[in-house]
């Protein structure tokens, strides 16, 4: 976790350094930047903690709703729009190359927290599992028209 937080801090410092003049020229932008850093930073810490606690149980995939519930267990009272705040924090974590990603799944989102890029085969498998509550290799082979090697 300290490695991920270190990457987050470093990249945030690089951004602030690169855009230093723009940030300080505009007082309104400066306040927004500081608020965003505080909110996104704190949420990012919660997201990483949830990942560490639940990775053995969920393998690094969690629905946005479950992440929302877990984040609310934290000590801080977040805004009413926490789902949007979580999405923004995950996008920031993704930009840092930490293995986080957002995967649209039906009417919800899955949050991926491991360093593997999903392809269409992965997505189809997850959609089948979501629809049928389970999936077999033969079902995936049939739908994706895989040939037996």
Q: What is the pTM of this model?
A: 0.59
Tokens, residue 39: 């909110």
Q: Which of 67, 63, 68 is nearest to 81 (CA)?
A: 68
1-5, 49-53, 94-98, 100-104: which range is least confident on average? 1-5
Confidence band, pLDDT 50/70/90 cuts, at residue 134: confident
The CA distance from 47 to 144, in Å, is 33
pLDDT for the residue numbered 89: 85
Are 22 and 73 contacting, i.e. CB atoms less than 8 angstroms apart? no
For 74, other C-beta atoms within 10 Å of its C-beta total: 14
CA separation for the pair 72, 65 (Å, rounded): 11
pLDDT at 60: 85
What sections of the chain are H helices per DSSP? Answer: 2-18, 20-25, 27-58, 64-72, 82-95, 120-132, 137-144
pLDDT value for 116: 65
Per-residue pLDDT, averaged over 122-145, amounts to: 81
pLDDT of residue 35: 73
- Domains of the chain (ranges; CATH) run 2-99 (1.10.10.10)
Mean pLDDT computed over 102-128: 80
Contact status, residue 55 vs residue 47, Cβ threshold 8 Å: no
pLDDT at position 128 is 80
Highest mean pLDDT among 9-13, 38-42, 76-80, 122-126: 122-126
Nearest partner of 68 among 41, 90, 93, judged by Cα? 90
């Amino acid at each position: 976790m300290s490695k991920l937080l270190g990457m987050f801090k470093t990249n945030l410092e690089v951004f602030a350094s690169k855009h230093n003049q723009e940030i300080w020229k505009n007082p309104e932008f400066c306040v927004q930047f500081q608020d965003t850093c505080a909110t996104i930073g704190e949420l990012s810490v919660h997201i990483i903690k949830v990942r560490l606690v639940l990775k053995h149980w969920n393998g690094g995939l969690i629905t946005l709703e479950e992440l929302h519930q877990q984040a609310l267990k934290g000590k801080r009272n977040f805004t009413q729009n926490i789902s949007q705040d979580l999405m923004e924090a995950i996008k920031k974590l993704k930009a840092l190359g930490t293995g986080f990603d957002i995967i649209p799944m039906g009417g919800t989102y899955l949050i991926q927290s491991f360093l593997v890029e999903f392809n269409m085969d992965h997505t189809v498998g997850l959609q089948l599992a979501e629809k049928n509550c389970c999936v077999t290799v033969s079902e995936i082979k049939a739908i994706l028209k895989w040939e037996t090697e």
